[in-house]
Structure 1
Amino acid sequence: MRQFLATVAMAVAMGAAGAATPVQGHGVTAAVSPPKVLRYAFRVAETGFDPAQVIDVYSRTVTPHIFEGLYGYDHLARPAKIEPLTAAAMPEVSDDFRTWTVRLRPGIFFQDDPAFGGRPRELVAADYVYSFKRFADPATKSPAWGSLQQQGIVGLAEQRERALTTKQPFDYDTPIAGLQALDRHTLRFQLAAPRPRFLETLATGDLFGAVAREVVERYGADIPAHPVGTGPFRLAQWRRSSLIVLERNPAYRERFYDAEPAADDAEGQALLARFQGRRLPMVDRVEISIIEEEQPRWLAFLQGQHDFIEQMPAAFIDLAMPGGEVAPHLARKGVRGWQAVRSDVFFVVFNMDDPVVGGLAPAQVALRRAIGLALDVPREIATVWRGQAIAAQSTLLPHTTGHDPALRSEMGVYDPARAKALLDLYGWTDRDGDGWRERPDGQPLVLEMLTQPDSQSRALDELRAKNLAAVGLRLRYRAQKWPENLKAARGGQYQLWRVGGSAAAPDGQPSLARFHGPQVGGQNIARFRLPAFDALYERMEVLPDGPERLDLMRQAQRLGMAYAPYKTLVHRVVTDLAQPALLGYRRTLFWQDWWHMVDIQTGPDSNTRTP
């Protein structure tokens, strides 16, 4: 009987229409509940769903719900705790942190797809070998290759170099020493140098989830539109930059809600008590709209069209959570809210290959520092962010190793007088008396910044143009959608850009990858190259956590501040609101997957039910 009803419920979840329907089975009539649908909006458009090709947080919020890495994060544990996902247990690690052996859990299957010829397809160790190799394939053009390359998987970079040198397709079939399937369910990584935090790489499921070779070869260049994984959901519909729909993966294995919140974590303990033992995912369908403008996104939530609003628009924060408490008119409806300093940073990035703002010469360093000093971040926080941000003193992110909340640096200073003095000292002066400064060689100086066509960006653009005009610098904008800006930045076809980044792991070193020379075109969108920095970065990678490594992080941080390829702006204070029908939400720290860990209350009392 249980199996029969589960089958009927699945049929409804996967597309049966509307209201509950009487179902006959073994002499019993049961009402099938309507599908549980989670609805909310992204504020920026996605770029695609191939883990090896995406770098933006919005696409990487979708991918870990479809693909699964070897390890993941405990949904409730704070501080963060890594746990097996498709692995059967934690890895076996050699004393020198060079050899990592992982055993997969048997009986995990990919979702059905024509690429498998109608046969069930089990996840095996060779799938992870193939998936990791895809990042090294030049044809994939993976923006994450630089990050993976730094892990030093023996033979992987050499295999990539052969493909580049010979101009032949990347060789997936020749074994390499650093990435081997020892048997059907055992995987071994061999690293060229100690990597004490390699487990964090294995837990980055939004990138390093398993992809089946048959699927990639079937869909070719269209693979971003055909994600096929072992995760709790599958892609059901995609209208680019408009709508993303995921449905429950009917082939998903038996997996149940479990977690280990701290004993003094009242919220975590309450969620565990409520949901422990529930089969995952608990919702049948997820519908994500792309709504870039703040007001329509806020109105969609107020009107009950969305169950959740993430990163509450700053313009409406006083209406939603004045003083950090849910507004009475919303609280009466059962709306709940959460606020936290997010592990992210916004910054202005300078293209170090640009002949005007780039380079390591004193005049260019002075220009970048002056621009940073001229930006009125306190006013930005007060007016545009409505107090929902704090000034960022460095690129190291809150809640990660190396971040010091007490640090104060030039990155967090607004001082237009110092900005003018720096410009004057290094020859960026107004020679013709028109009010605008020229270059040291007398040529006109007009700065260009990439931006997006949305209301928040327009408010920030207006403020920054005024800030720079006040010190004699002329700024114009090139407005286009975020994916186009990302493409331009990765290709070095820009001068300045305001952009943000968030942590994907508890370690702070990945945020320093923005300065690492070998990662130009990937995480290092500034295209900054400094051998002294690279030496510090590479030494950090091989050291275990401890005082010596923290000292190296501080040295690297100081170099980054001195040359200023980035001007850090703010860390956001994020506000999330949920309708009463959404149960079990908790903001994640470093991981993006949570849709399978929440429930949607259906029925006539769903607007008043609280968790």
Structure 2
Amino acid sequence: MKTPVKSLISGLAPVLVLAIAALALPAAQAQTAAPAASAAPAGAKKIIRYAFRIAETSFDPAQITDLYSRTVAAGIYDAPYEWSFLAKPMQMRPATAAALPEISDDFKTFTIRIKPGIYFADDPAFKGQKRELTAEDYVYSLKRHYDPRWKSGNLYILENAKILGLSELRKKLIAEKKPFDYDTPVEGLKALDRYTFQIKLAEPAPRFISSNFTDGSFTGALAREVVEFYGDKIGEHPVGTGPYRLAQWKRSSRIVLARNPNFREVYYNETAPEGNARLQAIATKLKGQRLPMVDEVHISIIEENQPRWLAFLNEEHDLMEEMPADFAGSVIPNNQLAPIYAKRGMQMVRYPRADVAVSYFGMENPVVGGYEPHKVALRRAISLAVDVDREIRLVRRGQAIPSQGPIAPETSAYNPKLKTVMSDYSLAQAKALLDLHGYVDKNGDGWRDQPDGSPLVLQYATQPDQQSRQLIEQWNRNMKAINIKIEFSAAKWPENLKSSRAGKLMMWGVGWSGGPDSDTFLALGYGPNKGQANHARFDLPAFNKLYEQQRGMPDGPERFAVMADAARLMVAYMPYKVHVHRIFTDIAQPWVVGYHRNIFVRDFWKYVDVDLEAFSRSKGAAQ
């Protein structure tokens, strides 16, 4: 599932980065002179160590709404299907399913058969017995999103799909003030036998399975007895059939995942794209290895970029995920790994993320919201005053491209040739729009007022981290240039998320990432998604109609044309100022084998290996 993502930038100066790197270099050079380290001890664990920039919240699929909790949960729970790791274009394949789904001609009925002999990780809830995965586990886990007890942040996705009977059952039980009844049969979701379940929808949904059943953190299977055993603490006790289990957890500090001994036999068998020598070499080298290849995954929570980067340079971490843009000039000059790091054998993987970085306007806010011409003019003027090129150059250090609308790169309907006013920067046009619609200085204090004479003051929510501080400096500069007063309120990201879902924020800057289908990004503007994907609370009937129309169409030019029309409405009404699409760079240590970033596969750990001898040599050389 998809949820807002915050991007952090450290204040570490490039000169300091180079100085640190220079200090690290002699140890790397000493590898040629130091005695060779002994081979890795027999039985040594293979461990992948890295850091999240934001703390996790819960590991219950019915309650997760953030990227980082989803990443962990994706390695614990199994959806029926998964995306291939190396192939491009993306290919959906069975995970716990025995085969691809059986889909009716009208795209309303989906039948999924589960492989026998798949088992959950051991847990006290099972009272010493091995617990096999069944079709009923998927039925139960989907129903949990409808149970008001769990306050699912992803319920809107399933309700939009209109699974027959489930929303009706939920509403009925809420009206009667009764707990959700998991045993009441519904037409749209049932187990046909021990290993087969079926879903029926009220409307066609050609991508229902690929969009929703390839992510274990959303539609992964939980055992009912585990949920009942742990109750409200289920988010602290994830038990799934995936490759890893939660071994240790110190909230907001450290997460340790260990290999699940009960994980089924799965072997590395990836097909790399033609012409990509690096990926072809990985596919050849790892072919036939049993997954997962690493024994443990250690995840630290380090919010600021400087200590994360130093932990990687000091070889305390094996991976630097999403290298801070502040360091781009010294670490990847001209988007190439600097020789000082290349000589150490580090690996660089650069990739566009299917995401958008946006600032939204609360459409129900009396100052910036509304659909009247003067309110639309205000938002468009603010957008025109945002110098995106300067933001990319100074804050994002060139690691982004200007956005033309809500649809992200790497997704089905993205048009790289599209040009809209979303990326335009013109102070003259911004001032003219404001003047024309009555946003002028009426009291002589130097700041523009609203047409009725009341003060015009923007309230922008932000976070107390380095990149957020740099971004609000740009906002302050941009708004000062058109004489609009803007104030900022800083809070931790989870606090802002809670306020945003409740519709309490006037403006907030966030990121949004999603899957291969562009529907994920149009969902930002769909009216019924208010308080979920739709943080702006945009609700335009013309847009809603187009969104619903494309959702029922098969992929192809006709559907993409409808999606483009919907995107144009979002540009015209400007509920979101879509700033950029970000470009990321990961850097891995030399001993990490097979590292690749597939932006649609969260749990990459099971596809990488660790060369223990290379790791031991590095440690020996550094001593």
Please say if residues 121 and 245 of structure 2, whose CA atoms lie closer than 8 Å, have aligned partners that are also in contact.
yes
**1:146 equivalenced with 2:156 (yes/no):** yes
Deviations 1:499-549 (A, max 9, x none): 001122x21112101111111111111111111111111111111112221
Partner of 1:395: 406
The farther-off stretch of 326-335 and 264-273 is: 264-273
Give the Å deviation of 1:471.
0.9
Please say if residues 96 and 194 of structure 1, whose CA atoms lie closer than 8 Å, have aligned partners that are also in contact.
yes
Partner of 2:170: 160
**1:572 equivalenced with 2:582 (yes/no):** yes
SS in 2 for 1:161: helix
Deviations 1:273-332 (A, max 9, x none): 111111111111111111121111111111111111111101111221111221111111
Please say if residues 46 and 612 of structure 2, whose CA atoms lie closer than 8 Å, have aligned partners that are also in contact.
yes
The farther-off stretch of 441-450 and 580-589 is: 441-450
Partner of 1:291: 302
Please say if residues 581 and 607 of structure 1, whose CA atoms lie closer than 8 Å, have aligned partners that are also in contact.
no
Match of 2:361 among 337, 341, 350: 350
Aligned AA (1:595):
W
Partner of 1:361: 372
Please say if residues 45 and 482 of structure 1, whose CA atoms lie closer than 8 Å, have aligned partners that are also in contact.
no
Partner of 2:286: 275
**1:329 equivalenced with 2:363 (yes/no):** no
Give the Å deviation of 1:608.
6.1
Match of 2:196 among 186, 191, 199: 186
Match of 2:610 among 600, 604, 611: 600
Deviations 1:11-49 (A, max 9, x none): xxxxxxxxxxxxxxxxxxx96332111111111222221
Q: Please list, as runs of the form range in 1=range in 2, the aligned pairs for 1:481-500 lying within 5 A after superposition.
A: 481-500=492-511
Cα distance in structure 2, aligned partners of 1:605 and 1:360:
59
Aligned AA (2:477):
K
SS in 2 for 1:133: helix
Partner of 1:21: none
Deviations 1:115-155 (A, max 9, x none): 22221111100110011111122222111111121222111
Deviations 1:207-229 (A, max 9, x none): 11111212222222222211111
Cα distance in structure 2, aligned partners of 1:428 and 1:257:
62
Match of 1:240 among 251, 257, 260: 251
SS in 1 for 2:297: strand
Partner of 1:410: 421
Cα distance in structure 2, aligned partners of 1:562 and 1:321:
37
Partner of 2:129: 119
Cα distance in structure 1, aligned partners of 2:381 and 2:303:
31
Cα distance in structure 1, aligned partners of 2:438 and 2:70:
44
SS in 1 for 2:171: helix
Aligned AA (1:325):
Q
Deviations 1:443-479 (A, max 9, x none): 2222111111111111111111111111111112121
Give the Å deviation of 1:603.
3.0
Give the Å deviation of 1:606.
4.8
Partner of 1:91: 101
Partner of 2:21: none
Please say if residues 331 and 337 of structure 2, whose CA atoms lie closer than 8 Å, have aligned partners that are also in contact.
yes
Give the Å deviation of 1:266.
2.1
Cα distance in structure 1, aligned partners of 2:609 and 2:617:
14
Aligned AA (2:111):
T
Cα distance in structure 2, aligned partners of 1:518 and 1:204:
23
Partner of 1:582: 592
**1:66 equivalenced with 2:76 (yes/no):** yes
Q: Please list, as runs of the form range in 1=range in 2, the aligned pairs for 1:366-381 lying within 5 A after superposition.
A: 366-381=377-392
SS in 2 for 1:507: coil
Cα distance in structure 2, aligned partners of 1:31 and 1:378:
52
Aligned AA (1:54):
I
Partner of 2:92: 82
The farther-off stretch of 61-70 and 201-210 is: 201-210
Q: Which runs of 5+ in 1 are unaligned?
A: 1-29
Give the Å deviation of 1:163.
2.4
Match of 1:129 among 115, 132, 139: 139
Give the Å deviation of 1:604.
5.6
Report the TM-score, using the length of structure 2 for normalisation.
Answer: 0.91
Cα distance in structure 1, aligned partners of 2:175 and 2:433:
46
Cα distance in structure 1, aligned partners of 2:189 and 2:617:
51
Q: Which runs of 5+ in 2 are unaligned?
A: 1-39
Partner of 1:535: 545
Partner of 1:426: 437
Partner of 1:560: 570
Match of 2:471 among 456, 460, 466: 460
Partner of 2:323: 312
Cα distance in structure 1, aligned partners of 2:311 and 2:437:
51
Give the Å deviation of 1:605.
5.3
SS in 2 for 1:603: helix
Please say if residues 280 and 597 of structure 1, whose CA atoms lie closer than 8 Å, have aligned partners that are also in contact.
yes
Identity score, percent: 52
Cα distance in structure 2, aligned partners of 1:137 and 1:427:
49
The farther-off stretch of 421-430 and 386-395 is: 421-430
| Cα root mean square deviation, aligned | 1.5
Give the Å deviation of 1:261.
2.2
Cα distance in structure 2, aligned partners of 1:374 and 1:574:
26
Q: Please list, as runs of the form range in 1=range in 2, the aligned pairs for 1:259-270 lying within 5 A after superposition.
A: 259-270=270-281
Cα distance in structure 1, aligned partners of 2:70 and 2:560:
29
Match of 1:473 among 484, 501, 509: 484
Partner of 1:10: none
Please say if residues 147 and 523 of structure 1, whose CA atoms lie closer than 8 Å, have aligned partners that are also in contact.
no
Please say if residues 80 and 589 of structure 1, whose CA atoms lie closer than 8 Å, have aligned partners that are also in contact.
no
Deviations 1:234-292 (A, max 9, x none): 11222222212111112211211112223333222211111111111111111111112
* Cα distance, 1:393–1:120 mapped onto 2, change above 3 Å: same
SS in 2 for 1:420: helix
SS in 2 for 1:150: helix
Deviations 1:35-81 (A, max 9, x none): 11111111122222111212221111111100110000111111111
Please say if residues 138 and 163 of structure 1, whose CA atoms lie closer than 8 Å, have aligned partners that are also in contact.
no
Please say if residues 282 and 598 of structure 1, whose CA atoms lie closer than 8 Å, have aligned partners that are also in contact.
yes
SS in 2 for 1:159: helix
* Cα distance, 1:586–1:337 mapped onto 2, change above 3 Å: same
Cα distance in structure 1, aligned partners of 2:582 and 2:607:
24
Cα distance in structure 2, aligned partners of 1:605 and 1:352:
53
Partner of 2:224: 213
